Amino acid sequence: MVAELCLFPTLMLALLSRAPHAGAARRDVLELGDADFDYLASEHETMLVKFYAPWCGHCKKLAPEFEKAAGRLKGSVQLAKVDCTAYSETCARFGVTGYPTLKIFRLGRDSAPYDGPRTAEGIHQYMKKHTGPDSIHLRTKDDLKEFINNYEASIVGVFSGEASGEAGSSLQDFLKAAALLREQFRFAHVTDLQLVSGYDVPSQCVLLFRPPRLSSMFEDSMVVFRDQLTISSLRRFIRDHIYGLCAHMTLENRDRLRVRDLLTAYYDIDYHHNPRGSNYWRNRVLKVASQYKGRGLMFSVANKKDFLSELEEEFGLGTSDGELPLVTIRTRLGHKYTMREEFTSDGSSLQRFLEDYFLGGLKRYIRSEPIPERNHGAVKVVVAESFDEVVNDPHKDVLIQFFSLSCPHCKRLEPVYTQLAHMLASDPNITIAKMNGVENDVPAAYEVQGFPTIYFSPVGKKDEPIQYKGVRELSHLLRFLKREASHSLVFSGSKEEL
């Protein structure tokens, strides 16, 4: 027995060190490390692991949401975390390069990256879809009724037989699609046509049931997919029909909705406790939306309380007073518009807003710091209002850094970037600039996911900026500019420094 224990001293110490002290509250999130990761992860059918660093701001923001989600998922999905500053070997083994990184494990094996919401509710909903079968086999009418009577939309495959022939092939294609899309949508299937006898549908088809809470007189609650079933065709069908004329946008699905030009009416929505009141304004949006089908604009409603900071910071809308909906449009290109007129119950103000939008008569809303009165430094300060004038100057190449005042990497880069600007201060063909990416709207062509992010905007290709991904040192930045600049660089002083 002693010999067997000696084989695992590190593991035993790690497990003992994780045992809770007397009287300490038991946490629902497992803490894993280099010694015990494989051993403990393999004990759970499904596990969501957060790889983090204690100093990371995004990690700190995620932590309480992760803890809440762990409590709600207890018994179905285990949540765990790994401190990458203490257990770098495990984090390196799973390719962790940024924080926080979330991954889904099945029986200890890295199964898939987690790219879902970062709220407790979002994590709960997302991970619930990773438990159980990809598609539930419904065997009775009560099963079907219970499945479609859900807060979320339901996709139900109808197949006349599952053993062989065309039905068997179609069912297998459906199950493959469900396996790929289960994290976003709910799937079930029936093989007894008696279950759907009341719907007057073909023996081979897919039915999409929109959530009962969103049913309205303006559209059907069920849509039938009758085409040749492939993964791509089914995905396209769901994408085009699941939200209907007016989606309920939440923190969890907003990214999927915002791949299109989107109008949103924000007001007090609570479908759990007040579905009738929640649909009062949505029905008025639906009435107007039904007149603009096929115009390339999607409609949605959202709970104002969930998007308070976004409405204030990104659209400049005060949200403290009034119960009337606030209306915005956000395009795929990142252009933003706000309806300044009060929302009228007959929908006429919304209709006027839309007419102005489609005629191109609305002024875009741009969140911007004031344009600096003095801007004589070697590094030119750019704000959203001056971006076109400076960065899109057709006669100059521009190197622009997007930064945050709280970013330590930006502070380390500042002296290098300033030195670069001084070296090129005499060059009339290039501008070295910077913009606060937190306080200003960043144009859609510039994808900024962290700070600092550096782009080069060349003459003649202002709509195709080039992201700098090299080492943030003076010599490397100079080599990049020499390679990409439209003119030979002109250096200040008599000697070029490399």
Q: Which residues are annotated as catalytic?
A: 56, 59, 407, 410
CA distance linking residue 461 with residue 23, whole number of Å: 65
Count CB atoms within 10 A of the CB of residue 479.
14
100 prior amide bond cis, ω within 30: yes
Count CB atoms within 10 A of the CB of residue 89.
11
CA distance linking residue 190 with residue 161, whole number of Å: 9
Nearest CA among 234, 140, 138, 226 for reference residue 178: 234
**Local structure of residue 290 (DSSP, 8 states):** G
- What pairs with residue 109 in β-bridges? 106
Instruction: Answer for the pair 209, 221: CB distance below 8 angstroms, yes or no.
Output: yes
Helices (H), 73-164: 88-93, 120-128, 141-148
Instruction: Answer for the pair 99, 108: CB distance below 8 angstroms, yes or no.
Output: no
- Token pair 């769901």 is found at 238
Nearest CA among 33, 35, 30, 31 for reference residue 10: 35
| Secondary element (H or E) of residue 482 | helix 474-484
Nearest CA among 437, 460, 316 for reference residue 381: 437
